[in-house]
Amino acid sequence: MIEIRSGVELPAIREEIVLTTTDGLNLVGELATPVSAKVASTLVTLHPLPTAGGFMDSHILRKAANRLPALADLAVLRFNTRGTESPRGKSDGAFGEGVTERHDVEAAVKFAEARGLPNIWLLGWSFGTELALKYGADKDVRGIILLSPPLHRTSEAELSVWANNGKRVVALVPELDDYLVPAEAEQRFKAIPQLELVAVDGAKHLWVGEAATKRVLDEIVKAVNPAAYPLPEVFEA
C-alpha cells in the first residue's frame, strides 16, 4: 500500500517521445499510460509560461503523469513547447508569444490520435490555457480543462468560437489568483455558455501544496473519467 504524497510516482508505462511540428521543429516530451488497464481518457497537457519558468515538469502536470495512469486509467502526454527546456531536454525553436505555438498544440493532438489514444482532452495551466482556448476549438478533443486561466492572450472572438460547439470547457479558478479570480472569470467567460466554472477557495495561481494538488487532480478526473472520482488516498500496489 502506497500513501499518496507529494513526490509519489506510481506505476505507469513511461515513454520518451518527440513531436514533430508542421513548421519542422522537434519537441521533446513524455507519454505516461496505465501499466495494464485500458486507457479511459487522454490528457494532452500544455504547460505554464516558459519565460516565467513553466515547462513540462511544472508540478501539477508532473504529478498528473505520476499518479493518474495508475489511479484513473488516464494517458498523460507532456511536452516542452518550442524553445522550452526541462530535464527531458530542450525543444527546438524559440518562444513564439503564444502564436507559433499553435503548431505545437496541433503536433501533440496529432500524436495522440496517431497512437489511437481515446477521449482526448487538452489540459492547460496558465499560459497553457491560452493555447488550449486559441487552438483547441477545431481539434478532435472532448473538451478543455483550464487551470488558473489568465485570459491575457485570448480574444473575445477566440472565446466565442467555443460557444455551444459540443466541447466541454472546465475552468478551475483559484480564489486568490494573481490574474483572474472567480467573479471576474464569470464575466470574462460569458461568451461560453457551457462553461463549467470551479471556484477553489483558498487556492492560488500556482496550486502550491498537496491539498491544492489533490483538488486539481480530483476535478480533472471528475471531468474526464468520473468513474474514478474521487481519487483514493492510498494506492494498492
Averaged pLDDT in 10-residue chunks for the chain of 237 residues? 93 98 98 97 98 98 98 98 97 98 98 98 98 98 98 96 98 98 98 98 97 97 98 92
CATH number at residue 67: 3.40.50.1820
Q: What is the pLDDT of residue 203?
A: 97
Q: What is the pLDDT of residue 237?
A: 76
Name which of 130, 137, 122, 129 is nearest 154 in CA terms: 130
**Residues 133, 44, 108: CA angle, nearest 5 degrees:** 90
Name which of 65, 28, 43 is nearest 124 in CA terms: 43
Q: What is the DSSP letter of 103?
A: H
Q: For the beta carbon of residue 11, count every other beta carbon within 10 angstroms.
A: 13
pTM for this predicted structure: 0.98
Cα separation, 209 vs 203, in Å, equals 9
Q: What is the pLDDT of residue 84?
A: 98
How many domains does the chain divide into?
1
Domain of residue 120 covers 2-235
Q: What is the pLDDT of residue 11?
A: 97
Measured CA to CA in angstroms, residue 18 lies from 15, 46, 82, 152 at distances of: 10, 15, 12, 29
Q: What is the pLDDT of residue 111?
A: 98
Residue 127 near residue 61, CB atoms below 8 Å: no
